[in-house]
Amino acid sequence: MIPHASDLQRLNVIIADFCHDVVIEPLCFFSEADLQSMLFARLLGEFATLVGTAITRGPGSKGTYRTGLVHREYGAGKGRRIDISIFAAEDIARIDDPQLTAGNKYLEPRFVIELGTEKTLDTPGHIANDIRKLSRAQEQGYLIHFFRDTAQADIGTERRRKTEQRLKEMYRLPVNKAELPPNVKMLCFLLRLAHTHRKIYGKCELFSLGSRRWEPVNLTRVRQQALRHLQCESGFVAGA
């Protein structure tokens, strides 16, 4: 990892590395839950600290129970769950209930991550719901979606034309129309897997929020391009 890097910089690098690995091996996941597990394991390795809560270990005990900074499926109110949350240590210290709440309220995560795949039945609804949860982030939220095009339809065929129209309606347009709060970053990938011709053009595309365009990404530069989308206002880009 990066010596003396801020938590935000460290997190950006972890996410960029994760995206690179998924894009290079797009069959590494069956469902969104797989993606959650993969990223969660990396985050636990980097943000491994256990922090004491305000819940004592027993009557008269001076010791308190501890919990981690990173959690999956943490509550967001109204029955909603956040894919991955990372909390500030001082907020963990306020927890006074075994449900990891403070004052009967869920904590506001420092960082929030929402993931998605092509298996969602309602991409616009999924993205909108994700954005609502991401807006809870005190510092930064991340919307990360991978959409795999598995149709065996070659360029120039009628099947490919229909496939591209379906991709546009189901994924490209909903992503294009997404309106993000200022504290939310987006990494949305379109991955082409199953063409039958020998060379696949545009195998990976990444949506650029700045240009509102889907841009082809060389597979050797996925990490660098992801970092450029996530970089801080200071312009920090690790290893780009």
Tell me what pLDDT residue 233 has. 41
pLDDT at 202: 60
HEC profile of the chain: CCCCCCHHHHHHHHHHHHHHHHHHCCCCCCCHHHHHHHHHHHHHHHCCCEEEEEEECCCCCCCEEEEECEEEEEEEECCEEEEEEECCHHHHCCCCECCCEECCEECCCCEEEEEEECCCCCHHHHHHHHHHHHCCCCCEEEEEEEEEECCCCCCCCHHHHHHHHHHHHHHHHHHHHCCCCCCEEEEEEEEECCCCCCCCCCCEEEEECCCCEEEECCHHHHHHHHHHHHCCCCCCCCCC
Tell me the per-residue pLDDT of 98-123, one tens digit each, with 9 for 90 and over. Answer: 999 999 999 999 999 999 999 988 99
Positions in the chain whose pLDDT score sits under 50: 1, 3-4, 198, 200, 232-240
Q: What pLDDT is recorded for position 75? A: 95
Q: What is the pLDDT of residue 238?
A: 41
pTM comes to 0.89
